[in-house]
Amino acid sequence: MKLIFEKGVKGRRGVKLPECDVPVKFDIPRNFHRANDAELPEVSELEVVRHYTELSRRNFGVDNNFYPLGSCTMKYNPKIDEEVCRYKGFTELHPLLPQLRHGGMLTQGALEVIYNTERLLSEITGMAEFTMQPLAGAHGELTGTMIIAAYHRDKGNKKTKIVVPDSSHGTNPASAAICGYSIVSVPSNSEGMIDYDAFVKAIDSETAAVMLTCPNTLGLFEPEIKKLAQKVHEVDGLMYCDGANMNAILGKVRPGDIGFDLMHINLHKTFATPHGGGGPGAGPVGVVEKLRKFLPISLVVKRNDGTYALDYDRPSSIGFIAPFYGNFGIILRAYCYILMLGKEGLARVSENAVLNANYIKEKLKKYYQVAHDPIACMHECVFSSVKQNKNGVHTLDIAKRLIDYGFHPPTIYFPLIVKEAIMIEPTETESKETLDAFIETMIKISQESESEPETVKSAPKTTPVSRLDEVAAAKDMDLRF
Amino acid sequence: MPYISNTEKQQQEMLDAIGVKSVEDLFKPVPKDFAPASFRIPKGKSEIEVRQHLHALASKNATGLTCFLGGGFYDHFIPSAVDALVSRSEFYTAYTPYQPEISQGVLQAIYEYQTAICRLTGMDISNASIYDGGTALYEAAMMAARITKRKKIIVCEGVSLIYRTMLRSYTKNLYLNFVEVPVSPNGTADREKIFREIDKDTAAVILQNPNFFGCIDDFSDIAQKAHSAGALAVCSVYPISLGLLKPPSEMGMDIVTGEGQSLGLPLSFGGPYFGFLATTKQHVRQMPGRVVGRTHDKEGRQGFVFTLQTREQHIRREKATSNICTNSTLNTIAATIYLSLIGKNGLKEVAALCANKAGYACQKLTRIKNVKKKFAAPFFNEFVVELPIDANNAVSALIDKGFAPGLPLGRFYKGMDNCMLVAVTEKRTKEEIGHLKEALEGVLKDE
């Protein structure tokens, strides 16, 4: 398919602009002007519409079919959220309005949305307060690490290390390293859990924090968190919770109750805001009481008279980490989602997410090796394709074959500690019929890997392109037209 | 229950298949004493109720003010086709394209986006986006520190005050040495002061064009000076202005960043937006974030994949060039659609309309007695006027008359209590500008 830059003809226009109605021509000296035009497309509106409609047809979203991408929580994105965030009262609101005198009064509705969402998230997680500013999960982690650093600076603690399990998301060590901490990676035990003794051994007076994903990245719940938190607190370290998997424990466990001091939540996972093909998301960070004063500037507060305002007077704060008040449009969608579900609904979300994952685990475990088989997994289950490997069929091949059958593949080769990992997260929004169809297909592919391994290895065959040459891509570095 | 598909009967069938009695059994790995201390969340609402509630909240916001407020975020025209196309749920309900065979739509769109950013800025290579213009600038500072292995970052005060406060917070935690240099009296970068600061510890000089006061500059001499000291030159740009103004590549910039909001995204109270980051071929391996490359399959068909991933966190973990993972893909698709619709000639026209109307507004406002243009330097679509009264007072009075007239600068800059930053886009009309002039005149008369 051609690029938009290869379409159109010279002089064609996509948009009609108004004629200039002022009697002034700008007064900018020639030497500041652009000598050559930026070579943008010259296409009609219809060409643009057809081009991007065709591109959308070469893409796969949750609205197309089952998207069991583990760790990413590809649940259904409710349409009401998309409608509400397009209300003019929100889209046309300039973010600098509250900076004008009495300007906060011009944006009361928006501030109330942020305030209410913050309160709801605090109650859901057991934290004292959230900053809604972080613009993505990894940005939340960076914010969290800056709060950890500020806490220790404030107390005069000499801290140099952050301890993570080897099953953690790559963003955890990457975020911690940016803030100047060295990373201590602790191997998990054979059950896929943190090795409690090894962890305790890794903790010493220079431990700034421990970062854990809860439930962990294998979809398992770590029962020793409270005990571990105690050890970490004994050396005045902090417990950071990567809340990427919060969708498994809504109404069941609150990180703030079990020893975590701060956490981030991915609104685009647990709270159903769309993933947008890779963003924009949002990664609010919640903290316990003792860390509140370090939260970024500004925070939305409710005054005694019931109005909302922005609090900038925060001398101990880590400062500004985002231009304004967070990804407002995303916060708004998450707010609607929480309102729709309510207390009951949130608990049902986690129950059904866990039920669906366990159902898949149970139905597939005869065919694929389960990475770790405890009593029950949480919202996702991890398999390994080692059984299928004997005819040269690998996890990548199984993933590609699923595409031929109309499914989005699960997450593959993560967590890194599981050989040939296949990580399946069905989410609560999927029906039993969909799960059954997927299970049947997975079983069929397992059989194919015996009977016709070449078919599996050469998949997919049904897509506009087959497997692409990634080595050539890295070598040629053709990154623009 | 909304959005949950399985009926109770089905749930029971599934529990039977698993071999447990109830869902509670599945939560057995969670110790009993982990139960929530409280969970005070209101009861769920219907779609009708949620819509009513959000309508009520939206109407508590003041819209309908005639907008002359800018400061890096502008009320530009957005063609209807932009939202119609990004509302295709094949785009917005997808995730990061890990499976290229079924993600060619997003991958090709990102490649087109990278192309558009390169053509706008004149740079060799663009990444797939950062969260916003401020985080893009912070990533650029980090990138410069990595490339030069130096720690001093010089920032011209012409750079957005929002971005400078963000840079200050980040660098405080990242142990970089952050030096801010005031602008010269005419509103542009102060060469003498910047040159004095450039030394062998300098990683980067960070500039902005047009700067926060709207003033236009040509930073070629500063880039040259930075290079001769082994430092990099970094510039944040306003993409719409590049329809008219000299691209940063021609000034010798090494890294170019900017806020993408003006390219087809609503103001939406501060986000979501996206930031762009572009650089030269030489530095591509130190670039943060994702990047898409063009390649082919076995049959020789063209296709697109994420590439150069060995820089990234999911492979390199703590040794990655950045911790960024998710960026702002959907918004970059919106920007690419916007730039395609506006096109080569349209972008020039939008830029010229902005500059003409801003020129006219400046002329009109400074005809009012005791209202002066603050800086002598030429400007693009934003300028500072100095009023005979505190700008905060003027702005409050003008809000009551239906305008968001501009940003008072006293809170942010010493000695600028009477100054107001006024922005004009292609959406403003001669009539609206005339009304603003009359309204301001009235306010000043009443004082």
Tell me the ipTM for this assembly.
0.97
Residue contacts between A and B (CB atoms, under 8 Å): 708
Distance from CA of A425 to the nearest CA of B (A): 14
Contact B273, B261 (CB under 8 A): yes
Q: CA of A232 to nearest chain B CA: how many angstroms apart?
A: 18
Judgement on whether residues B176 and B269 belong to the same structural domain of the protein: yes
SS3 of residue A411 by DSSP: strand
Average confidence (pLDDT) over A44-51? 98
Instruction: Please give the Cα distance from B135 to B186 (Å, whole number).
Output: 29
- Tell which B residues from 294 to 353 touch A, by Cβ distance under 8 Å: 294-299, 301-305, 307-308, 312-320, 322-331, 333, 336-337, 339-350, 352-353
Angle (nearest 5°) at CA B327 between B326 and B329: 110
| B241-276 residues labelled b (16+ CB within 10 A) or e (exposed) | bbbbbbbbbbbbbbbbbbbbbbbbbbbbbbbbbbbb
CB spacing of B272 vs A328 below 8 angstroms: yes
* DSSP per residue, B129-179: -BSSHHHHHHHHHHHHHHHHT--EEEEETTS-HHHHHHHHHHHHHHT-EEE
Confidence (pLDDT) at B347: 98
Whether A112 contacts A308, CB under 8 Å: yes
CB atoms within 10 A of CB B300: 7
Interface contact flag, A53 B328, Cβ < 8 Å: no
**Closest residue, chain B, to A352 (C-alpha):** B4
Between the alpha carbon of residue B52 and those of residues A88, B34, B56, B230, B368, the distances in Å are: 14, 37, 6, 59, 45
CA nearest B52 in A: which residue?
A84
In a domain, B274, yes or no: yes
Q: Give B316 or A49, the one with higher predicted confidence.
A: A49
> What pLDDT, on a 0 to 100 scale, did the predictor assign at position A167?
86
Residue B390 and residue B356 share a domain: yes
Q: Where are the beta strands (DSSP E) in B37-101?
A: 66-67
* Co-location of B281 and B366 in the same domain: no
Distance between CA A401 and CA A410 in Å, rounded?
A: 12
The token pair that represents A8 in the structure block: 């159109």
- Whether B324 has a pLDDT exceeding 90, the answer reads no
pLDDT of res. B63? 85
Question: Which residues are within 8 A (CB) of A471 and not within 5 positions of it... i.e. 6 or more apart?
Answer: none
pLDDT (0 to 100) of residue A179: 86
Please tell me the distance from the alpha carbon of residue B171 to that of residue B149, in angstroms, as a whole number. Answer: 15
In this structure, the dihedral spanned by the alpha carbons of residues A210, A215, A218 and A223, taken in order and rounded to 10 degrees, is 80
| pLDDT digit string, tens, across residues B64-111 | 899 999 999 999 999 999 999 999 999 999 999 999 999 999 999 999
For A202-222, what is the mean pLDDT?
94
Q: What percent of chain B has pLDDT over 90?
A: 91
Residues 78-107 of A with CB under 8 A from B: 78, 80, 82-97, 99-103, 105-107
Residue B85 pLDDT: 98
Q: Is residue B247 part of a domain?
A: yes
With beta carbons under 8 A apart, name residues in chain A contacting B128. 278
Question: Cβ contact (<8 Å) for A355 and B15?
Answer: yes
Indicate yes or no: CB of B307 within 8 angstroms of CB of A479.
yes
pLDDT at A177: 86
Give the other-Cβ count within 10 Å of A4's Cβ. 24
- The single-letter DSSP state of residue A451 is H
Local structure of residue A20 (DSSP, 8 states) = P
Nearest to A13 among B42, B296, B343 (CB): B343
Residues B94 and B234 in one domain: yes
In a domain, B61, yes or no: no
Confidence of residue A172 (pLDDT cuts 50, 70, 90): confident
| A 57-76 residues inside an 8 A Cβ radius of B | 57-64, 67, 69, 72, 74-76
Residues B31-41, mean pLDDT to the nearest whole number: 96
Query: Are B248 and B323 in the same domain?
Result: yes
Domains and CATH numbers, chain A: 83-339 (3.40.640.10)
Lowest mean pLDDT among A205-209, A373-377, B100-104: A373-377
Measured between CA atoms, the residue of chain B closest to residue A472 is: B295
CB < 8 Å to B125, chain A = 479-480
| pLDDT score recorded for residue B285 | 92
Q: Are residues B71 and B85 in the same domain?
A: no
Say what the pLDDT of residue A176 is: 86
CATH number for B290:
3.40.640.10
Is the predicted pLDDT of residue A330 greater than 90, yes or no? Answer: yes
Give the per-residue pLDDT at B162: 95
How would you label A301-314 residue by residue, b for 16+ Cβ within 10 Å and e otherwise? eeeeeeebbbeeeb
The whole-number average pLDDT for the span A280-301 is: 97
**Helix or strand run (H / E) with residue A208:** strand A207-213
**pLDDT beyond 90 at A180:** no
Q: How confident is the model at residue B316 (pLDDT cuts 50, 70, 90)?
A: confident
Could you give the CA distance from residue A61 to residue B90 in angstroms, rounded to a whole number?
A: 5
Residues of B (15-34) whose Cβ lies below 8 Å from A: 15, 17-20, 23, 25-31, 33-34
CA dist., res. B43 & res. B177, Å (int): 51
Q: B384-387 long-range CB contacts below 8 Å, 24 or more apart?
A: B384/B187, B384/B213, B384/B214, B384/B409, B384/B416, B384/B419, B384/B420, B384/B421, B384/B422, B385/B419, B385/B420, B385/B422, B386/B418, B386/B419, B387/B418, B387/B419, B387/B420, B387/B440, B387/B444
In-domain check, residue B366: yes
Number of Cα atoms under 13 Å in the Cβ half of residue B67: 21
- Tell me how far apart the alpha carbons of residues B67 and A105 are, in angstroms, rounded to a whole number: 17
Mean pLDDT of B290-313: 92
- Split into its structural domains, chain B has a count of 2
Q: Which domain holds residue B283?
A: 80-337
Q: What is the per-residue pLDDT for A174?
A: 86
Least confident of A203-207, A357-361, B170-174: B170-174
- pLDDT exceeds 90 at position A192: no
CA distance A356 to B74: 46
Residue B404 located in a structural domain: yes
Spatial neighbors of A234 by CB under 8 A, at least 6 apart, are: none
pLDDT digit string (tens) for B174-194? 778 999 999 999 999 999 999
Question: Which residue among B303, B320, B337 closes a domain?
Answer: B337
Predicted structure pTM score: 0.97
Q: What pLDDT was estimated at residue B319?
A: 78
Instruction: Looking at the structure, tell me whether residues B267 and B198 fall in a common domain.
Output: yes
* A162 has a chain B CB within 8 A of its CB: no
Q: Which of A185, A213, A214 is nearest to A199 (CA)?
A: A185
CA-to-CA distance for A429 and A271, rounded, in angstroms? 12
Look up residue A107 and give its DSSP letter.
Answer: B
Could you tell me how far CA A416 lies from the centroid of its own chain? 18
Supply φ then ψ for residue B203, to 5 degrees. Answer: -85, -40
Q: Is residue B329 domain-shared with residue B387, that is, in the same domain? A: no
Lowest mean pLDDT among A394-398, A446-450, B254-258, B324-328: B324-328
Q: Which of residues 173-202 of B touch A (CB under 8 A)?
A: 173-175
Task: Give the model's confidence band at B21: pLDDT under 50 very low, under 70 low, under 90 confident, else very high.
Answer: very high
Q: What is the dihedral of CA A78, A428, A372, B25, to 10 degrees?
A: 150
Which residue, B337, B357, B377, sits at the end of a domain?
B337
What CATH number is attached to the domain comprising B367? 3.90.1150.10
- Cα-Cα-Cα-Cα torsion A447, A453, A454, A457, nearest 10 degrees, comes to 90
pLDDT in tens, B345-363: 999 999 999 999 999 999 9
Beta carbons of B73 and B259 less than 8 angstroms apart: yes
Claim to verify: residue B325 and residue B376 sit in the same structural domain: no
- Report the SS3 class of residue B402: coil
Instruction: Evaluate whether residue B179 is within a structural domain.
Output: yes
Tokens representing residue B424 in the block: 């004009």
Euclidean distance between CA atoms A42 and A34, whole angstroms: 19
Q: How far is B229 from chain A (nearest CA, A)?
A: 26
Flag whether pLDDT at A367 surpasses 90.
Answer: yes
pLDDT at A173: 87
Q: Is residue B187 part of a domain?
A: yes
pLDDT classification of A267: cutoffs 50, 70, 90: very high
Check whether residue B360 and residue B217 sit in a common domain: no
B205 and B333 inside one domain: yes
- Give the number of other Cβ atoms within 10 Å of residue B402's Cβ: 15
pLDDT in tens, B140-169: 999 999 999 999 999 999 999 999 999 999
- What pLDDT score was predicted for residue A104? 86
Contact call for B272 and A329, based on CB within 8 A: yes
Q: Which residues, 6+ apart, have CB-to-CB distance to A170 below 8 Å?
A: B312, B313, B314, B315, B316, B317, B320, B325
Provide the pLDDT confidence category of residue B447 given band limits of 50, 70 and 90.
confident
User: Helices B430-446 and B391-400 meet at what angle, rounded to 10?
Assistant: 120
CB contacts of A62 in chain B (<8 Å) are 89, 93-94
Q: What is the pLDDT of residue A102?
A: 83
| pLDDT band with cut points at 50, 70 and 90 for residue B302 | very high
Count of helix runs (H) and strand runs (E) in chain B:
14, 15
Please check whether residues B215 and B321 belong to one and the same domain.
yes
Closest chain A residue to B98, measured at CA? A411
Q: How many whole angstroms separate alpha carbon B298 and alpha carbon A469?
A: 8
Confidence of residue B311 (pLDDT cuts 50, 70, 90): confident
Q: How confident is the model over A110-129, as a mean pLDDT? A: 98
* Structural domain ending residue among the three candidates B293, B316, B337: B337
Within a domain: residue B322? yes
